[in-house]
Amino acid sequence: MKKLNTVLLIDDDETTNYLNHRLLSRMEIASDIRVVTDGEEAIKYLHKAFTGTPDYPRPDLIFVDIKMSGMDGFEFLEEYQKVAEREREGTVMLMLTSSASFYDLEKLKQFPDVRRHYSKPLTESDVREIIQTYF
């Protein structure tokens, strides 16, 4: 399985972050796994990563939760779309959700950067499929 440089988890739920981080670490899919707890923090992180700031590696893969306090996943995606397309190239964005409502899935269609949604927490088979499909 291909090893990625950096994975960014964006979720305000500590338990989900713990479970996903633990799974990704155990599967050794990335050299670096970063966690941020809201969309605003994620935008700040990505701005630094895309401008080459040391200690902020550019993520190969981003998992973002839909429902978060503060800036939620959709608000994050609206801001992410403002980032230059050349900066976003090479980064795979996936949505994580604990409740995939019809409304949320329809709204996701407005964001072409999101390749697919997955239920949280991630499973080993999800991770294998993601690596095989996108990397």
pLDDT tens digits along 12-39: 999 999 999 999 999 999 999 999 999 9
| pLDDT at residue 127 tops 90 | yes
Q: What is the pTM of this model?
A: 0.94
- Domain with 27 in it: what CATH number? 3.40.50.2300
- Directed axis angle between helix 39-50 and helix 73-80, to 10°? 30
pLDDT tens digits along 52-81: 999 999 999 999 999 898 899 999 999 999
| pLDDT at residue 1 tops 90 | no
- Find the domain containing 118 and state its range: 4-134
What gap in Å lies between CA 105 and CA 88, rounded to an integer?
A: 22
CA distances (Å), 82 to each of 26, 46, 85, in order? Answer: 34, 12, 8
Give the total number of structural domains in the chain.
1
